């Protein structure tokens, strides 16, 4: 999974009323007159603690899960399908299960060998779709080369698609409709709203165009704030691996917000960002540490280097999501947004996208 430290993107569809407007998930924090968070010392960056925000979200999820259960609903259950022996995938899955347990969501891991056939994996997915005890399904990516990831993602029922990768959920996201939003994008959106970063009319650069991270982040930020699924009303520029470094620097120096999700260590440095810009780093990279001889986890942003060009005050806000670990244990962010919807007590709701006209309560 590509980042996000708290930033976790559910599946509790039956008996739920329509999506609450996304912007209501969090209240903007107090701001300075300029609209940008400032540090106490003018020559220092303001660093937002991803760990602190993650703990806030986890507490809210836990409270919402218990509220959901108090209305007579079953405890949410997440099923994770893990194929092969990829060490990183096993770590991610363990973290997901651990986070789920911390907030009261039950979970299970189904381990399958590397040589499982695509047909067998699809059959298993269809059975999980039909299992009423399963609230959400997550097939851990990447999959072995002989399995088509898009086919598998599309086989998961849209209402149980914890990752938000099903073509229907992606399509609804692109059309500003209520949908399950990919976890990393949802986490970035939560960071922006919870820290009070203004997006309306702002210039944003998203470095990275992956379909699971860069694309959904861009969609959330540039879409209309008055639509059914409100967006950020920002002007978004997307860069990628073929964007020349000098062009990337031109774009980032004009940006009010820089979101980095390219998977390239030290891609963004201090000289590439203007004063007062907000920088959100959701890159995740494993590199060799020459000092310890071990592998360490880093992001895409490098503000450790000494800034030696003509002096200027840099008021940068670097958001390291859980110190470059993943906030989005894929699933919890979406579980969270799902549980924050009005709960339908009349039990009339059959579709997650229909409006319940009966009594609702938070």
Give me the sign of the Cα torsion angle 59, 61, 66, 67: positive
Length of the chain: 362
The helix (H) or strand (E) run that includes residue 311 is none
Q: State the catalytic residue, choosing from 64, 160, 161, 163.
A: 163
The label of the residue with tokens 């912007």 reads: 23
Q: C-alpha angle 331/2/219, rounded to 5°?
A: 75
Residue pair 140/80 in contact by the 8 Å Cβ criterion: yes
| Catalytic residue list contains 163 | yes
| Catalytic residue list contains 148 | no
DSSP structure class, residue 144: P
Q: Rounded to an integer, what distance in angstroms lies between the CA atom of residue 185 and that of residue 198?
A: 17
Residue 331 exposed, middle or buried by CB count within 10 Å (0-12, 13-18, 19+): buried
Structure tokens at 185: 């994008």
The helix (H) or strand (E) run that includes residue 219 is helix 214-222
| Catalytic residue list contains 96 | yes
- Taking alpha carbons only, the member of 267, 265, 277, 275 closest to residue 245 is 267
Query: Which residues carry out catalysis?
Result: 96, 140, 163
């Amino acid at each position: 999974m590509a980042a996000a430290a708290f930033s976790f993107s559910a599946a509790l569809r039956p008996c739920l009323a329509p999506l609450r407007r996304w912007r209501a998930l969090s209240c903007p924090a107090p701001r300075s007159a300029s609209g940008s968070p400032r540090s106490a010392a003018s020559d220092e960056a303001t660093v937002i603690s991803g760990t602190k925000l993650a703990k806030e979200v986890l507490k809210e999820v836990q409270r919402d899960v218990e509220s959901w259960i108090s209305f007579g609903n079953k405890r949410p259950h997440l099923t994770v399908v893990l194929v092969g022996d990829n060490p990183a995938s096993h770590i991610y899955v363990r973290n997901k299960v651990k986070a789920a347990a911390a907030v009261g969501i039950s979970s299970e891991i189904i381990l399958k060998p590397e040589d499982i056939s695509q047909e067998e994996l699809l059959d298993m997915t269809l059975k999980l779709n039909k299992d009423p005890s399963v609230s959400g399904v997550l097939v851990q990516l990447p999959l072995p080369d002989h399995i088509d990831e898009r086919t598998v993602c599309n086989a998961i029922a849209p209402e149980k698609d914890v990752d938000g990768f099903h073509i229907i959920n992606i399509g609804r996201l692109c059309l500003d409709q209520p949908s399950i939003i990919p976890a990393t994008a949802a986490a970035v959106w939560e960071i922006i709203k919870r820290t009070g970063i203004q997006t309306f009319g702002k210039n944003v650069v998203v470095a990275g165009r992956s379909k699971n991270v860069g694309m959904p982040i861009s969609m959330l930020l540039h879409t209309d704030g008055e639509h059914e699924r409100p967006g950020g009303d920002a002007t978004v520029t997307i860069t990628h691996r073929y964007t020349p470094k000098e062009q990337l620097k031109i774009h980032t120096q004009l940006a009010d917000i820089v979101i980095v999700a390219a998977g390239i260590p030290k891609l963004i440095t201090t000289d590439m960002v203007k004063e007062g810009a907000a920088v959100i780093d959701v890159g995740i990279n494993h590199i060799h540490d020459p000092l310890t001889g071990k592998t360490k986890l880093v992001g895409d942003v490098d503000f450790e280097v000494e800034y030696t060009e003509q002096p200027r005050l840099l008021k940068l806000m670097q958001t390291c999501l859980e110190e470059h670990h993943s906030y989005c244990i894929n699933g919890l962010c979406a579980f969270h947004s799902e549980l924050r919807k009005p709960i339908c007590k009349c039990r009339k709701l059959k579709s997650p996208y229909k409006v319940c006209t009966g009594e609702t309560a938070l």
